Structure 1
Amino acid sequence: MSKKNDIQLLRINYLRGPNLWTYRPVLEVWLDLGELEDWPSHRLPGFNDRLTTLLPALIEHHCGVGERGGFLQRLQEGTWAGHVLEHVVIELLNLAGMPTGFGQTRSTSQRGVYRMVFRARDEQVARSALRQGHRLLMAAINDEPFDVAAAVAEVREQVDDSYLGPSTAAIVAAATDRRIPHIRLNDGNLVQLGYGARQRRIWTAETDRTSAIAQGIARDKDLTKRLIAGCGVPVPDGRAVKTPAEAWEAAQDIGLPVVLKPSDGNHGRGVMLDLRTQADVEAAFEVAARHGSEVLVERCIAGDEHRLLVIGGKVAAAARGETAWVTGDGRSTVSQLVDAQINTDPRRGTTEDHPLNRLGIEDDGAILAELARQGLAPATVPEAGRKVLIQRNGNVAIDCTDQVHPEVEHVVALAARIVGLDIAGVDLVAQDIGRPLHEQGGAIVEVNAGPGLLAHLKPAIGKPRPVGRAIIDTLFPEDNGHAHAGRIPIVGIAGTRDSTRIARMVAWLAQLRGQRVGLACADGLYLDRRRLASGDARRWDVSHRLLVNRNVQAAVFENDACTVLRDGLAYDRCTVGVVTDCDGSETLAELDIQSPDQMPKVLRTQVDVVLGDGVAVLNAADERVAALGAFCDGEVMLYAADPQTPALLAHRGGGARGRAVFLHDRRPVLASGSAETRLAPLSPAARGGMADESLLAVIATAWALDVPPDLIIAGIETFDAHNAASAQPA
């Protein structure tokens, strides 16, 4: 078989919000199969075997068949290369540790050209997977060698560069479980939870409630000790020193054995324990001095190191440490023994997926000093049977949450409050965490801001603790079971008929209720009546700014079909979703919309994202629009100028929840089932040349937002007079 030409990637578009395909971000790729349009999988000799040899786990893909092996069945029956590429990319993401199950491939109106999409939590990871998947597929088609391991490694490297760390990811996952939206604010771990004025921010395990003063206190270990000791919290005796000689003098005054550590270090770096001789103390000073600006000498507390996580004034999790030892065999060096007896533990590694760190003893001053105290070096060969202490601390990963004594919980939570931290990692040393500290001479040795959560999420021994959920519950307390914490009222308006004016009037009516309202529409980006940016603000990168703005208490977004197809919606869910019409197909040929019949599927996106306690406001005069109500998770409200419109009549017959808006004797009527409320007639000036149905869309949307009927009419009457200033830039 002759070599086949490459599949051409005509267009790659990252849809960042809810879109034609799904609620979530996807990478959409337009593919030109070229000659491969005539070569489905079953016509390519040996292709199926080569592909499944490269990616044997493709057998797990159900595809449209709905069962294991479904995709392989499709390969045998014959499927096109675009569909195959979809599954190759998904499998590479699975192998790279970022599993996804969503993908679709659909033909376009042009022969051989397809739109292929797959779930993509990060654009750069998705592009990397696409690039490697494309190469793999063409290699399998043309019977050429391909290094799958190298391809997966490249994707995994991009995952490591792009994705959130484990602590932040756990908090975000807990927010998602409670349907709290999140926005990543930088390439690191700064994340916004919630929208607008109801947002909170986290950075790893620090929050916008974590004060700079508390962080500063926590960094100064000597100051921390003095503050908490003054409130009755047990701490070890100690003092700061500036030279090795001062360290030895302090050690003798405090009483041996002692601990030396940097005053502002972290992660246990530079900490030396159980020092009993002048040589050990002076050597430990040099190690500690390399990791901080000042060195502390403290009384050595008997017992194991523990880390207790305090969230919102309560202990949420606890972990215990253990010392690391090796046993000599008379043949291997200390370095070789560490690699064979410690580093082979699958719980140890260099990534954030491992609860214990891999030990590199040649570069660790504390370990080298510990070996020196035993008369050893990394290259020394200990005699057979000799036990060698490698590390006294740094192995805190054994869950002991259920063993913590109530008195210990009280003291630890008190220490966090004294420092002023909403989330704290409190380190203490005790022989038995199940007994009060004063009974055993235990003490708190450090209070840390921004503690890592990995030891509690993936302990080496014991069960994981839901610490991410504990942080979310502190930031967003349950409000009588309210499921939408962190959300502001959001209105999305889709259509072409008077949609900009509708959006601006709805924003005005919401503002009259005393809220600060953001508006993104074709006229620009607004906060209240001040324009923040001119030009079309329906683009995702412009309109999304409203959700980051802490001043925004409610937001109104104008969307058209192009917004859905090119960017996706700026928000994940909305309080009110409005669809006025299904017009505009004639301007979307570039996006493969060839007829009006395709428009309902596009505009359905606006209805799909309505919250369960939200409202879809739909034009009953357009049967295609009215039919979208079937896809709404919340309430459906219809409007039409004619009260005899069939869809409206049928809807009103559905009972008290069948709300509708229509005209009677030129007066707007709000109807709930058979009950009707007639509003005052609107003046010709208030209509501003708008069609009746457009005015009714405004009234219905305001009603869905619980704006009082009298205020709706008054607001429409005063709209033009009070919004002239909004055309002026801020």
Structure 2
Amino acid sequence: MTHKSIEFRRIQYLRGPNVWTYRPVLEALVDIGELEDFPSNKIPGFYERLSAWLPSLIEHRCSYEERGGFLRRVQEGTWPGHILEHVTLELQNLAGMPGGFGKAREVSERGVYKVVVRAWNEQVTRTALQYGRDLVMAAIENRPFDVAACVEHLKDLVDTHCLGPSTGCIVDAADDRDIPAIRLTDGNLVQLGYGCRQRRIWTAETDRTSAIAESISRDKDLTKTLLQSCGLPVPEGQLVDNPEAAWEAAEDIGLPVVVKPDDGNHGRGVFLNLNTRAEVEAAYRVANEEGSNVIVERYIPGIEHRLLVVGDQVVAATRGEIAQVVGDGQHSVRELIDLQINADPRRGSSEEHPLNFIGLDSAARLEIQRQGYTPEDVPAAGKVVVVQRIGNLAIDCTDEVHPDTARTVALAARIVGLDIAGVDLVVQDISKPLEPQAGAIVEVNAGPGLLMHLKPAEGKPRPVGKAIVELLFPNGDSGRVPVVGITGARGKTATARLLTHFLDLTGQYIGMACSDGIFLNRRQVETGAQTAKVQWEAARRVLMNRQVQAAVIENGADAILRDGLAYDRCQVGIVLNSAPMADLSHHYVETPEQIYNVLRTQVDVVLEGGAAVLNAADAQVADMARLADGEVIYFARDGELPVLREHCVQGGRAVFIRAGQLVLAQEGHETPFLEMASLQPHLVAGPMADSLLAAVAAAWALGLGTDVIRAGLETFPAAA
């Protein structure tokens, strides 16, 4: 192509571990045409424009491994593909996505590059990549470019498409524990773990959050009744259905009172410290708009607090502050709200802000009216006007919570039946027990927001995501079932079928995704024709099945290059052979070294306690032993191969054939356990023998006994 431009030939989303890294990435095949002859130092003004538009690129260290390293490369001369990589990553970073992996590599065709960037979300990264291309071209052609508008759009995409902070912190905590995660929808429903060991979360709710408990928590009157019956302090209250009844209830309870929706949330329509009939009846009308019922309660003097209960423990606590303005004799209440409250950088409309903007809704207007003002009035200098009394829970006080109060709050969550709960209480001093100071629990909430604890306006963040993960996966549980991944040039399907047959004999529910289709517990649920182009999706379906106790997954080289692996790590990784490989030139994979890098992906993801099963007769495959985090088990038809013998001498395990017998070798000891002649001829003929040996080695790595393996070989159907 002859042009001075940057063109995308292909963009593909590698959704799992891949030839580049363990994380999902976007891989763009980029054609820079004649720009191959114009590195950045040959384009007048390019460095100045780029560094002015994105001054934060100074933090990119690049190959010099020092601050400013990348910009130094731009000054010295580098090519648009490399620049596009860094610009895309920086645009994502400015939009709130953490910095990540990036690469730019030439392919065999002149002027064509593979540009790879970490993709936290496919749509966000695709947009950032396109903006990155446009920005680089604008810098090359000396045209204006609106960086701020692009970043703002990317921020909107992040808010729309990425996990919210509550779900995200749990997923991040799971990742820290090496627990895999699968996002099940475009929203916040996430699977943690695989197969039968999985758990599910939806923000701060789990698959064990009781629907009955959640319904109870929404009924504030019922919640109070249950808590009171167990001796917990709650404010006296009555449900009412009209303004007159609200005032009658207030008189019965005794002034001052609180009026609020019985099933509201986030503090909407809640009015405190009401002392007159006019106030009560006006508050009723607003509260009635926010919920289906209204409750009148005894007013509890004190400060609003939110305590987060996970399991049986209080793991975080915040207290509220009253939102108010101070008159200056010049500005109206409306103007003061913007100048003194909403100008606070901690306030915003996104989930990343610990405090919300204060608006003049009906509740705020009524609160202001109670003090004798309208939004347009100008308070005298020094006059304090309260705008909002609740809903500003953002000051961390976790370390101040009295142990008795923590036990009471944890009991409240158990009474309602919630595994995770946000318990609201009002108390003068959270460091003292509730009862002596007449404190009370006012609400127990399901699905509590976690942002106030992750990013408090004051105080230190709390590891609430970690606490939830420890509740879901106690005692170091990884949430994993055994996963076996199989790759190579040939024999993958036969190996998968053999190994699955062995595992079936253990009585477990086995899932398999291979070229023949999807198999669940010996039953074929999809044909190979249905899964041929969607191998990644087929594998994910197996891992998402809540009955699967072990998974066997075939990974062709083309599928690895097109999608990456469907799992983050595996217990056993099998590499059968490296040649003859199907044509991969459309991926610009043409040399033995490039094929090696594709197949090694399977070895790279073997868990530390797992095993890489490698063909000792294939020099390239045997060399992958140095990459394995776990054990290495060699297999070969020839037991005299030097690499295999040396491996056994050093205490390694191997499976091979000697004198017509199948031999298991471990720590220098050899155990012949089966006459090859006793097996069906199709199992021992040619390349099929390699599949047999690999399947036996994998079964051995998974702890299957020789009796099970022998029975599997003897009963494997000829037509399979």
Structure 2-normalised TM-score?
0.97
Contact 1:659 1:671 in 2 (8 A): yes
Q: Which moved more, 1:287-296 or 1:101-110?
A: 101-110
Residue 512 of structure 2 is matched in structure 1 by: 519
Residue 605 of structure 1 is matched in structure 2 by: 601
Is the aligned partner of 1:701 residue 2:704? Answer: no
Residue 499 of structure 1 is matched in structure 2 by: 492
Residue 295 of structure 1 is matched in structure 2 by: 294
Is the aligned partner of 1:685 residue 2:656? Answer: no
Aligned equivalents of 1:153, 1:92: Cα separation in 2: 10
Residue 663 of structure 1 is matched in structure 2 by: 657
Residue 632 of structure 1 is matched in structure 2 by: 628
Secondary structure of 2:609's aligned partner: strand
Letter in 2 for 1:258: V
Letter in 2 for 1:486: G
Q: 2:637 aligns with which of 635, 641, 644?
A: 641
Shift in Å, 1:653: 2.1
Contact 2:3 2:33 in 1 (8 A): no
Contact 2:489 2:581 in 1 (8 A): no
Is the aligned partner of 1:455 residue 2:461? Answer: no
Letter in 2 for 1:516: Y
Secondary structure of 1:455's aligned partner: helix
Q: 1:393 aligns with which of 390, 393, 405?
A: 390
Q: Which moved more, 1:689-698 or 1:504-513?
A: 689-698
Letter in 2 for 1:36: L
Is the aligned partner of 1:265 residue 2:264? Answer: yes
Contact 2:5 2:34 in 1 (8 A): no
Shift in Å, 1:720: 0.6
Shift in Å, 1:673: 2.2
Secondary structure of 2:290's aligned partner: coil
Shift in Å, 1:59: 2.0
Structure 1-normalised TM-score?
0.96
Q: For residues 113-149 of structure 1, give each alpha carbon's deviation from its aligned partner in whole angstroms, at most 9, with x where no partner exists.
A: 1111111111000111011111101100011111111
Residue 137 of structure 2 is matched in structure 1 by: 138
Is the aligned partner of 1:230 residue 2:229? Answer: yes
Aligned equivalents of 1:373, 1:220: Cα separation in 2: 28
Aligned equivalents of 2:73, 2:258: Cα separation in 1: 66
Contact 1:686 1:719 in 2 (8 A): no
Aligned equivalents of 2:80, 2:403: Cα separation in 1: 62
Shift in Å, 1:711: 0.9
Residue 96 of structure 2 is matched in structure 1 by: 97
Q: For residues 573-624 of structure 1, give each alpha carbon's deviation from its aligned partner in whole angstroms, at most 9, with x where no partner exists.
A: 0000000100244411111122334211110000000001000000000111
Residue 176 of structure 1 is matched in structure 2 by: 175
Letter in 1 for 2:443: E
Residue 206 of structure 2 is matched in structure 1 by: 207
Letter in 2 for 1:257: P
Aligned equivalents of 2:242, 2:555: Cα separation in 1: 67
Shift in Å, 1:99: 2.5
Is the aligned partner of 1:406 residue 2:403? Answer: yes
* Unmatched 5+ stretches in structure 1: 725-730
Residue 126 of structure 1 is matched in structure 2 by: 125
Secondary structure of 1:349's aligned partner: coil
Aligned equivalents of 1:456, 1:58: Cα separation in 2: 31
Secondary structure of 2:475's aligned partner: coil
Contact 2:14 2:25 in 1 (8 A): yes
Secondary structure of 1:153's aligned partner: helix
Letter in 1 for 2:201: I
Secondary structure of 1:424's aligned partner: strand
Aligned equivalents of 1:460, 1:59: Cα separation in 2: 29
Residue 728 of structure 1 is matched in structure 2 by: none
Aligned equivalents of 1:326, 1:345: Cα separation in 2: 12
Q: Which moved more, 1:691-700 or 1:224-233?
A: 691-700
Aligned equivalents of 2:104, 2:230: Cα separation in 1: 65
Secondary structure of 1:544's aligned partner: helix
Alpha carbons of 1:285 and 1:585: their partners in 2 closer, same or farther (altered >3 Å)?
A: same
Residue 719 of structure 1 is matched in structure 2 by: 716
Q: 2:589 aligns with which of 590, 593, 600?
A: 593
Shift in Å, 1:182: 0.5
Residue 38 of structure 1 is matched in structure 2 by: 37
Secondary structure of 1:348's aligned partner: coil
Is the aligned partner of 1:550 residue 2:546? Answer: yes
Two-structure CA RMSD over aligned residues (Å): 1.4
Letter in 2 for 1:176: D
Letter in 1 for 2:172: A
Q: Which moved more, 1:72-81 or 1:611-620?
A: 72-81
Contact 2:663 2:674 in 1 (8 A): no
Contact 1:653 1:673 in 2 (8 A): yes
Q: For residues 364-417 of structure 1, give each alpha carbon's deviation from its aligned partner in whole angstroms, at most 9, with x where no partner exists.
A: 222111111111111111112211111111111111111111211111111111
Letter in 2 for 1:692: A
4+ long deviations beyond 4 Å: none
Shift in Å, 1:5: 3.4
Secondary structure of 2:717's aligned partner: helix
Residue 374 of structure 1 is matched in structure 2 by: 371
Secondary structure of 1:121's aligned partner: coil
Secondary structure of 1:679's aligned partner: strand
Alpha carbons of 1:686 and 1:209: their partners in 2 closer, same or farther (altered >3 Å)?
A: farther
Shift in Å, 1:497: 2.6
Letter in 2 for 1:633: D
Residue 444 of structure 1 is matched in structure 2 by: 441
Aligned equivalents of 2:187, 2:689: Cα separation in 1: 50
Letter in 2 for 1:672: Q
Residue 49 of structure 1 is matched in structure 2 by: 48
Shift in Å, 1:707: 0.5
